[in-house]
Structure 1
Amino acid sequence: MIRSRVEHVFADQKSQTGLFVRTFDITRATMRIGLANIVYNMRRFLFLEPINASA
């Protein structure tokens, strides 16, 4: 089910980053959502790709 693949992203952004967009300016809202997406993607990347300490 495609819906269930997306819901965890929004739940994580709401709970971890406290994402609550309340602004009159669409540019600021877009920027805030975009930054929350970048943070989520970076956290997922670090979780999925362990850093090798022996490098």
Structure 2
Amino acid sequence: MREGLLDKTNTVYRSKANEEFMEKQGFVSKVHRKKPHLKPMPLHIQRSNAGKSVIRSRVEHVFADQKSQTGLFIRAVGITRAAVRIGIANIVYNMRCFLFLEQISITA
């Protein structure tokens, strides 16, 4: 199953080959489009990127919070130890969110 996920030719940037591959597999691309060099970004691309950023920022804020609050930096021997450290960071993040939401509901 992992072989299908790992592709050395895959990049984080939008490319014609990646777009064609995703379309053939039935996926919809959620990769941001780059601004044209020395030109203003077209409004429809700007709106498309903004919609994608809403989802992306929700995910990236979790990682940023974990890194800043727990000092999450994984340097461990073995995947099991790394997985445990990440799991503990996730538990701490979820507990902090729960306490925050509980505090809001008490004061409201």
Q: Into which bin does the TM-score normalised by the smaller protein fall?
A: 0.7 to 0.9
Aligned match for 1:46, one of 99, 103, 107: 99
Report which of the two structures shows the higher radius of gyration computed on alpha carbons: 2
Matched residue, 1:35: 88
Q: Does 1:23 align with 2:82?
A: no
CA distance in 1, matches of 2:95, 2:82: 20
RMSD: 1.4
CA distance in 1, matches of 2:60, 2:92: 17
Runs of 4+ residues deviating >2 angstroms:
none
**Paired residue total:** 52
Bigger RCO (CA 8 Å, 6+ sep): 1
Q: What is the Cα deviation at residue 24 of structure 1?
A: 2.2
Matched residue, 2:62: 9
CA distance in 1, matches of 2:101, 2:93: 12
**Structure 2 spans left out of the alignment, 5+ residues:** 1-53
**Structure 1 spans left out of the alignment, 5+ residues:** none
